[in-house]
Amino acid sequence: MTTTHAGTDPYAPGNADDTAEGHVYTVTGQDWDSIVSEQAERGDERIVVNMGPQHPSTHGVLRLILEMDGETVTEARCGIGYLHTGIEKNMEYRTWTQGVTFCTRMDYLSPLYQEATYCLGVERLLDIEDRIPEKASVIRVLMMELNRLSSHFVCIATGGMEIGALTVMTIGFREREKVLDALELITGLRMNHAYIRPGGVAQDIPDNAIDHVKDLVAWMKKHLPEYAALCNENPIFKGRLVGVGELDLAGCMALGISGPPLRSTGYAWDLRKMQPYCGYETYDFDVVTRTDADAYGRFRIRLDEMWQSLRIIEQCVERLGKMKGQPVMVDDAKIAWPAQLSIGSDGMGNSNEHIKHIMGESMEALIHHFKLVTEGFRVPPGQAYVPVESPRGELGAHVVSDGGTRPFRAHFRDASFVNLQAMPALCEGAMVSDVVVAVASLDPVMGGVDR
């Protein structure tokens, strides 16, 4: 047994404050009055500013506690938890398939990535990874890259709005609407799709989807250069972003940062290349990097990544054109929910033809369908973690099964949550006006942070 002496253990009782310099605040929420009164008694020129949680430039309900000397930020801390939904806990009380409907609602800007990582984990537990239809994997890649476009547009649009570039905001949301139209055409919803399911996807793409996506790609190729023309060499834009929120590779590695902030240091880490999933190794695209390691570099990376997404989308469209009629759900009646649903004449529910198909086969088929939907399928005991490269970085679902019809545990490694650790490193020593730019360059989504 090894004994650690209190004098040498920095974490031993009594040593926790030995290395602290100056005054230390413990912020627990609903404590603003005590912090203000304590600061007033200090008698120095430093002030504490509570930025958020209801502030548009904190990207949602993020609270930033900033201690400042004049306009210079000396200490910065994050206050999270204002958007807690209990999604992960709720998933323990739903079937494996119903869990998709919950996890898609966490990071509301990239719902399809949460569905993908969760379903990939479930499929690994079921040991059916090599039985997923090729068409289902191609559709998954198509949907994720469309989702990357829409997410990056929101990041660039809101980031521009927060520094006064309103034109960037208006055209950013214009392009995002185009992408959401395509997602709605294929899944029926603009967001929170629950489209990717264990074993494949909910249903095949409609007949007019390929032409619609081709038109979308043509539109994007025409309008993406507008962002470069407005921002890339704009002296005001560069003046606000260049050299702001710098974090080098060593800092990113120490904090576990991934996504565009990591690639802005010159490190080409992208899970689509390094740990391929859904057949990404068969697509031709480049991992975009820069060496700026600041807010401007992260903006440029996201802009260039959208061009790479268009390359992948074009390859998906070409493949789907040759796969008409192929299955999109695993061929296992004990796992697969119906993947070819028909809408009734009132635009709701299932058509008479589909109901007749289910009920007309046999009473046993109807009973099986009822049990599959209400009780769910059983997943062998075990645990799995299959990460994907979301617009914000590494997103992974750690799914644990005890052999039942519901997850024993489902916990998500959300990129926004991890990347927010960089906030003090980006902001301390900078001007308070640069805090908005630094936080926006991380692109945190609080629905994914709090879950």
Q: Are 62 and 439 in contact (CB under 8 A)?
A: yes
Helix 209-227 / helix 166-187 crossing angle, nearest 10 deg = 170
Cβ atoms 286, 268 nearer than 8 A:
no
User: What is the chain's mean pLDDT, rounded?
Assistant: 83
The Cα–Cα gap between 222 and 202 comes to 32
Exposure of 266 in the CB half-sphere (CA atoms within 13 A):
6
Instruction: Please write the tens of the pLDDT for every residue from 79-98.
Output: 888 888 889 999 999 988 88
Determine the 3-state secondary structure of 59 from DSSP.
Answer: coil
Residue 451: both structure tokens together: 């879950």
Strands (E) across 35-132 are located at 46-51, 63-69, 72-79
**Strand pairing report for 393-401 and 409-413:** antiparallel
Decide: residue 199, CB within 10 A, 0-12 exposed, 13-18 middle, 19+ buried: buried
Amino acid at 52: G
Report how far apart, in Å, the C-alpha atoms of 57 and of each of 36, 53, 71 are: 23, 10, 17
Contacts 24+ apart (CB under 8 A), 48-52: 49/432, 51/435, 52/79
Domains of the chain (ranges, CATH numbers): 96-335+377-418 (1.10.645.10)
Please report how the helices 209-227 and 295-320 are oriented relative to each other, as an axis angle in degrees rounded to 10: 160
Task: Return the H-helix or E-strand segment holding 179.
Answer: helix 166-187
pTM above 0.75? Answer: yes
Name the token pair of 391. Answer: 């617009």
What pLDDT, on the 0 to 100 scale, is given for residue 6?
A: 45
Highest-confidence segment of 74-83, 86-95, 160-169: 86-95
pLDDT value of position 3: 43
Question: What tens digit of pLDDT does each residue of 260-289 get?
Answer: 999 999 888 989 989 999 889 999 999 999
48-57, 300-309, 338-347, range with greatest mean pLDDT: 300-309
What pLDDT digit, counting tens, does each position of 322-335 carry? 888 888 888 877 78
Q: Exposed, middle or buried, 249 (CB in 10 Å: 0-12/13-18/19+)?
A: middle
Per-residue tokens: 11 = 């974490």
Whether the CB-CB separation of 294 and 242 falls below 8 Å is answered with: yes
| % pLDDT > 90, the chain | 26
pLDDT in tens, 215-244: 999 999 998 888 888 877 788 888 888 888
The per-residue DSSP string of 333-382 comes to: TTTPPPS---B-TTSSSB-HHHHHHHHHH-HHHHHHHHHHHHT-----SE
Residue 102 CB burial class (10 angstroms; 0-12, 13-18, ≥19): buried
CA dihedral 178, 181, 187, 188 (to 10 degrees): 160
